[in-house]
């Protein structure tokens, strides 16, 4: 009887867990095992953030990101912020930072609690205006 | 028959043993993925399509013409006059009743009128209370009773959606959370098909005009979509010349007026976040949508007498619109901007208040080139105005990246970290580089000592700005700052510096565009500062700024002049000690930057967070400066030596940076 109760409880917990995860829409949960979840996490770390994500990425995201993810973020920022700048009298491409420099920049700024809401793309743009490299 | 209660109690140890496998499973299956989801990526905001300046000529396919000038607001009391052009739709809360005061909208108005009869009323905090006469109160009450009888909507969006050209939407007092708009998904996959490429370098995922046309409440709590999409798709890649919207359709909601019917803007509230927070913070609290009120290609748009608060990004967003008037409005604690008017023309912000924003209270970004970079054969004109506004308790009161030819006058900038900022630090897709020709006159910049970087701040600062500063120009050209008062800004009154290396062009850059001049990449030229009063309040009190004027004197910067400004006891305080006055502004050629190592060291320390050997950055911007005086001067001396050292070390590492290359 007790084993039956334990099994029933575990079953209930698993059922509730599966239901919650479905509710959260987690792809890895639908795959149904932890390894798949880890795999998905690794994929996410390696995937470039969308433009929309970059627009709102702040220092807190930098702090939360693993080193691999940080490199991906820096690379994506370099790609987007190195784009063309337009005006009637001027047009050209924006300078970018060397990736190592960008990592140091974010590490230095984002280590402070007051900077947790700083937008990464703005920090990058300001810094590249002072110490950018041609790309 | 149930078991006795005591039999149901499981000893703690047994319980944990019993639940342990289940808890592990629960953690693996439930908690871990949820944690991953919550920390893996930030909430994504909407990104915008490549933006174009609207044709500044009026569109006379509608009568009266739309655009071509700043629209005039129509009087509230004409809203029910059927002989007038346009139909009025009335929005209210509650239901019609024989006892008007029992209606929630009119009950709110009644309380507002009663308060105003006793204490007066204000459109913004710094003005003297206006007297409300009994006659005016009765007139407003009676008209609102009539409006209530005409009310057929309870949601502002529904009334806007049903409106056409020249129509009006009148909103009776109340807090409008717009539940129907909130019910629409944000980033709805069904709308993905309307996404396109963003601006250069053409990353996918930009919300096109069609996106907003077909999914108006995906990003916006209230969307005023002014035109149909054009029959032709916008060019890909986008045109480099951003004059003229390439996929412009006909007007469907041009000349729309959206207004509150209360006594002041406090009576009608558009609530994009948590209503329980009132007009308080923190920035973007409980935000349900990115934008409170959006007006896209809505030429001739008038918004009047409303409060907008707690949107995730912008309270009021006007985009690609020719002719807009934002009048008697208030904007509180939106995540980034109180107003963002982007690539728009013929616009006015007036009689407003904006507080609690992580970027700025108002932001006229990327206005058209009508200043010194105007098209040949066209006349110089100020394309937008910001006037009679109180901009306070924000990271910055005003901000304008690539802000061209905006006239900023008769405003109060106080209790921000930085009162006003304009800059060239732009990203791709922000047309109008570099900003030029703003006229900043007859404003008060005072007590901008608010520190949003403090741990308990209710404002979430998005950028590194120097606490305690009246205004700065970060790389603009041909701006004029005159006849203003700056007092009690504990770090500085006015800063001017170059952003020397933002742009690359020339044969070795891979950029062959016309107009790309590598000799003009450094931006901080032809700015004029004159007839400003520094360190004295209007009532005559002496309330010094830390330093009145600060310049990086970037090598090669030309024609920046300071003259006829007055400070406490005579001349204003400056850094460096001498600033060029250009013979009273008559000979700008006498001004040439030669490099100020200390001031450039400060910029390097604060904007690059650079310190050699991984040491803690020295940047003092994020702490409240001491009150100006002897102690502050001693601090300045200590910092100066440190910044000199920072500059030296930086240039050992980055010898090719323009800052180092040009400074001898």
Nearest chain B residue to A128 by CA distance is B502
Query: Which chain A residue's Cα is nearest to B51?
Result: A86
Give per-residue pLDDT as tens, B244-258.
999 999 999 999 999
Q: If you average pLDDT over residues B418-441, what whole number do you get?
A: 87
Per-residue pLDDT for B341 more than 50? yes
pLDDT band of A56, cuts 50, 70, 90: confident
Residues 632-651, chain B: which have Cβ within 8 Å of A? 650
Look over chain B and give the mean of its residue pLDDT values, rounded to a whole number: 88
pLDDT over 90, % of chain B: 72
Helix A120-131, helix A99-110: angle, nearest 10: 120
Rounded to whole angstroms, how far apart are CA atoms B198 and B237? Answer: 10
Instruction: Please answer yes or no on whether A61 and B42 come within 8 Å at the CB atom.
Output: yes
Q: What is the per-residue pLDDT for A26?
A: 39
**Best interface-test mutation with A: which of B20, B39, B56, B203 has the largest number of A CBs within 10 A?**
B203
For residue range B509-518, what is the model confidence (pLDDT) as tens digits? Answer: 444 444 455 5
Closest in A16, A80, A86 to B242, CB measured: A86
Host H or E run for residue B99 = none
Confidence of residue A37 (pLDDT cuts 50, 70, 90): low
- Please answer yes or no on whether B203 and A50 come within 8 Å at the CB atom: yes
Shortest alpha-carbon distance between residue A35 and chain B (Å): 10
Does residue A11 register a pLDDT over 70?
A: no
**Chain A within 8 Å of B35 (Cβ-Cβ)?**
no
pLDDT tens column, B77-95: 999 999 999 999 999 999 8
Percentage of the residues of chain B whose pLDDT score is greater than 70: 87
Q: Single out the residue of B292, B407, B405 nearest to residue B357, CA to CA.
A: B292
Contact B603 A130 (CB under 8 A): yes
* Model pLDDT for residues B485-522, shown as the tens digit of each residue: 999 999 999 999 998 877 766 444 444 444 455 555 56
Asked if residue A43 has pLDDT above 90, the reply is: no
Angstroms from A36 CA to nearest CA on chain B: 11
Indicate the pLDDT class of residue B72, thresholds 50, 70 and 90.
Answer: very high
* Complex-level ipTM beyond the 0.95 threshold: no
**Alpha carbon distance B630, A11 (integer Å):** 73
pLDDT of residue A13: 41
Question: To the nearest 5 percent, what fractions of chain A are helix, strand and coil?
Answer: 70, 10, 20
- Rg of chain B over Cα atoms, rounded to whole angstroms, equals 27
Q: Tokens in use for B541?
A: 């009190």
The pTM of this model reads 0.88
Give the A:B interface size as CB pairs under 8 Å.
257
Shortest CA distance from A111: residue in chain B: B616
Closest residue to A114, CB basis, from B203, B429, B453? B453
pLDDT at B427 over 70: no
Instruction: Write the burial class of residue B64 (CB in 10 Å: 0-12 exposed, 13-18 middle, 19+ buried).
Output: middle
Of B42, B460, B462, the CB nearest to A122: B462
Q: Which two tokens stand for residue B321?
A: 């619109």
Per residue in B625-646, pLDDT tens? 999 987 777 777 888 888 999 9
Residue scoring higher pLDDT (B659 or B452)? B452
Of A20, A61, A64, the CB nearest to B30: A20
pLDDT for the residue numbered A44: 64
In this predicted structure, the answer to whether residue B7 has a pLDDT above a threshold of 50 is no
Judge whether residue A89 has pLDDT over 70: no
Return the C-alpha torsion angle B139, B141, B145, B148, nearest 10.
120
Chain B, 483 to 502: residues with Cβ < 8 Å from chain A are 499-502
- In the DSSP assignment, the letter for residue A14 is H
Q: In this complex, do B654 and A131 lie within 8 Å of one another by their Cβ atoms? A: yes
Interface probe for B, chosen from A51, A53, A81 (most Cβ of B below 10 Å), is A51
- Give the pLDDT confidence of B158-177 residue by residue, as tens digits: 999 999 999 999 999 999 99
Residues in chain A, total: 135
- Rounded to an integer, what distance in angstroms lies between the CA atom of residue B565 and that of residue B282? 38
The closest alpha carbon to B426, from A95, A106, A79, A57, belongs to A95
Judge: A34–B28 Cβ closer than 8 Å, yes or no: yes
Q: How confident is the model at residue B612 (pLDDT cuts 50, 70, 90)?
A: low
CB atoms within 10 A of CB B196: 20
- Three-state secondary structure call for residue A97: coil
* Alpha carbon distance B230, A131 (integer Å): 42
Cβ–Cβ under 8 Å, residues B140 and B113: yes
Cα–Cα dist B453/B459, whole Å: 8
Q: Do A131 and B650 touch (CB under 8 A)?
A: yes
Quickly state the pLDDT bin for A83 (edges 50, 70, 90). confident
Cβ–Cβ below 8 Å for B21 and A10: yes
The size of chain B, in residues, is 664
In the predicted model, is pLDDT for residue B285 greater than 90? yes
Looking at residue B198, its pLDDT comes to 61
CA distances from A91 to B432, B438, B514 (A): 9, 20, 7
> Residue A6: pLDDT above 80?
no
CB B634 within 8 A of CB B478: no
| Furthest-apart CA atoms within chain A: distance in Å | 84
Establish if B424 touches chain A: CB-CB under 8 angstroms.
yes
Residue B531 has which token pair?
Answer: 């007839």
Does residue B16 have a pLDDT over 80? no
- Residues in B closer than 8 angstroms to A49, CB to CB, are 41
More confident site: B205 or B405: B405
Contact of B194 with B247, CB cutoff 8 Å: no
CB B560 within 8 A of CB B578: no
> Which residues in A lie closer than 8 A to residue B657 (C-beta atoms)?
130-132
pLDDT of residue B165: 98
Cα separation of the two ends of chain A: 72
Q: Specify whether the CB–CB gap between B168 and B87 falls below 8 A.
A: yes
Residues in B touching A52 (Cβ below 8 Å): 44-47, 187, 205
Q: State whether residue B195 is helix, strand or coil.
A: strand
Residues of chain A in contact with residue B462, where contact means CB-CB under 8 angstroms, are 58, 117-119, 122
Least Cα separation, residue A51 to chain B (angstroms)? 6
Mutate to test the interface with B, among A24, A58, A89 (most CBs of B within 10 A): A89
Which tokens hold the place of B591? Answer: 């001004």
In this prediction, residues B132-144 reach a mean pLDDT of 98
Are B290 and B273 in contact by the 8 Å Cβ rule? The answer is no
Amino acid B2: pLDDT: 30
What's the average model confidence in pLDDT over B278-285? Answer: 97
Q: Summarize the confidence of residues B188-197 as an average pLDDT.
A: 82
- What burial class does residue B69 get, using C-beta atoms within 10 Å of its C-beta: 0-12 exposed, 13-18 middle, 19+ buried? middle
Residue A17: its chain B contacts at CB < 8 A?
25-26, 29-30
A92·B611 Cβ contact <8 A = no
User: Which pLDDT score, from 0 to 100, does residue B399 have?
Assistant: 96
**Which of the listed ranges A118-127, B26-35, B55-64 does the model predict with the highest average pLDDT?**
B55-64
């Amino acid at each position: 009887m007790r084993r039956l109760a334990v099994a029933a409880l575990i079953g209930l917990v698993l059922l509730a867990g599966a239901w919650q995860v479905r509710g959260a829409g987690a792809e890895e949960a639908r795959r149904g095992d932890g390894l798949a979840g880890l795999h998905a996490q690794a994929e996410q770390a390696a995937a470039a953030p969308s433009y929309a994500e970059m627009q709102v990425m702040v220092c807190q995201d930098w702090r939360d990101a693993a080193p691999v993810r940080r490199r991906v973020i820096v690379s994506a920022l370099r790609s987007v912020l190195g784009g063309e700048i337009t005006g009637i009298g001027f047009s050209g491409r924006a300078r970018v930072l060397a990736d190592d420099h960008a990592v140091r920049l974010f590490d230095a700024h984002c280590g402070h609690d007051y900077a947790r809401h700083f937008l990464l793309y703005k920090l990058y743009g300001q810094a590249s205006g002072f110490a950018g490299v041609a790309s | 028959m149930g078991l006795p209660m005591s039999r149901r109690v499981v000893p703690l140890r047994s319980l944990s043993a019993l639940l342990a496998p289940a808890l592990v499973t629960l953690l693996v299956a439930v908690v871990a993925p949820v944690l991953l989801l919550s920390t893996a990526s930030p909430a994504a905001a909407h990104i915008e399509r490549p933006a174009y300046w609207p044709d500044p000529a009026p569109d006379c396919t509608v009568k009266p013409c739309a655009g071509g000038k700043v629209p005039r607001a129509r009087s509230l009391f004409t809203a029910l006059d059927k002989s007038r052009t346009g139909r009025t739709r009335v929005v209210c809360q509650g239901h019609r009743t024989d006892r008007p005061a029992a209606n929630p909208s009119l009950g709110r108005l009644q309380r507002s009128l009663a308060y105003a009869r006793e204490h007066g009323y204000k459109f913004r905090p710094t003005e003297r209370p206006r007297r409300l006469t009994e006659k005016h109160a009765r007139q407003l009450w009676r008209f609102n009773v009539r409006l209530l009888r005409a009310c057929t909507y309870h949601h502002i969006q529904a009334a806007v959606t049903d409106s056409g050209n020249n129509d009006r939407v009148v909103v009776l007092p109340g807090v409008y959370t717009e539940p129907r708009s909130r019910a629409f998904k944000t980033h709805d996959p069904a709308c993905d098909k309307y996404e396109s490429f963003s601006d250069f370098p053409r990353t996918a995922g930009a919300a096109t005009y069609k996106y907003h046309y077909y999914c108006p409440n995906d990003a916006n709590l209230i969307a005023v979509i002014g035109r149909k999409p054009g029959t032709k798709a916008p060019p890909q890649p986008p045109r480099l010349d951003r004059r003229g919207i390439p996929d412009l359709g006909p007007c469907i909601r041009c000349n729309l007026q959206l207004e509150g019917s209360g006594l002041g803007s406090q009576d009608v509230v558009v609530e994009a976040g948590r209503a329980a927070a009132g007009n308080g913070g923190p920035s973007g609290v409980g935000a349900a949508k990115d934008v409170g009120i959006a007006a896209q290609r809505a030429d001739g748009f008038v918004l009047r007498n409303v409060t907008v608060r707690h949107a995730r990004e912008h309270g009021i967003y006007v985009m690609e619109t020719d002719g807009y008037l934002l009048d008697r409005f208030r904007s509180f604690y939106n995540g980034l901007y109180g107003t963002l008017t982007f690539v728009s023309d013929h616009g006015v912000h007036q009689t407003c208040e904006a507080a609690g924003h992580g970027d700025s209270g108002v932001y006229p970004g990327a206005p058209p080139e009508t200043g010194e970079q105007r098209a040949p054969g066209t006349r110089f004109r100020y394309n937008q105005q910001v006037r009679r506004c109180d901009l306070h308790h924000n990271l910055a009161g005003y901000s304008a990246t690539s802000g061209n030819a905006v006239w900023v006058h008769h405003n109060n900038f106080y209790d921000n970290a930085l009162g006003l900022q304009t800059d060239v630090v732009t990203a791709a897709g922000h047309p109008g580089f570099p900003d030029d020709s703003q006229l900043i006159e007859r404003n008060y910049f005072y007590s901008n000592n608010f520190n949003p970087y403090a741990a308990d701040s209710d404002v979430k600062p998005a950028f590194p700005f120097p606490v305690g500063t009246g205004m700065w120009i970060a790389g603009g050209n041909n701006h004029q700052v005159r006849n203003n008062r700056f007092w009690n800004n504990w770090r500085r009154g006015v800063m001017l510096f170059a952003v020397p290396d933002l742009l690359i062009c020339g044969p070795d850059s891979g950029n062959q565009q016309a107009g790309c001049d590598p000799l003009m990449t450094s931006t901080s030229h032809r700015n004029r500062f004159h007839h400003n009063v520094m360190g004295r309040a209007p009532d005559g009190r002496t309330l010094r700024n830390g330093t009145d004027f600060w310049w990086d004197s970037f090598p090669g910067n030309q024609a920046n002049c300071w003259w006829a400004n007055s400070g406490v006891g005579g001349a204003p305080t400056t850094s460096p000690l001498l600033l060029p006055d250009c013979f009273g502004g008559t000979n700008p050629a006498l001004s040439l930057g030669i490099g100020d190592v200390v001031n450039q060291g400060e910029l390097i320390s604060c904007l690059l967070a650079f310190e050699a050997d991984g040491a803690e950055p020295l940047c003092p911007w994020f702490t409240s400066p001491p009150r100006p005086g002897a102690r502050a001067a001693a601090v300045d001396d200590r910092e100066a030596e440190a910044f000199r050292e920072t500059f030296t070390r930086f240039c050992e590492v980055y010898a090719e940076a323009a800052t180092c290359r040009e400074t001898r």
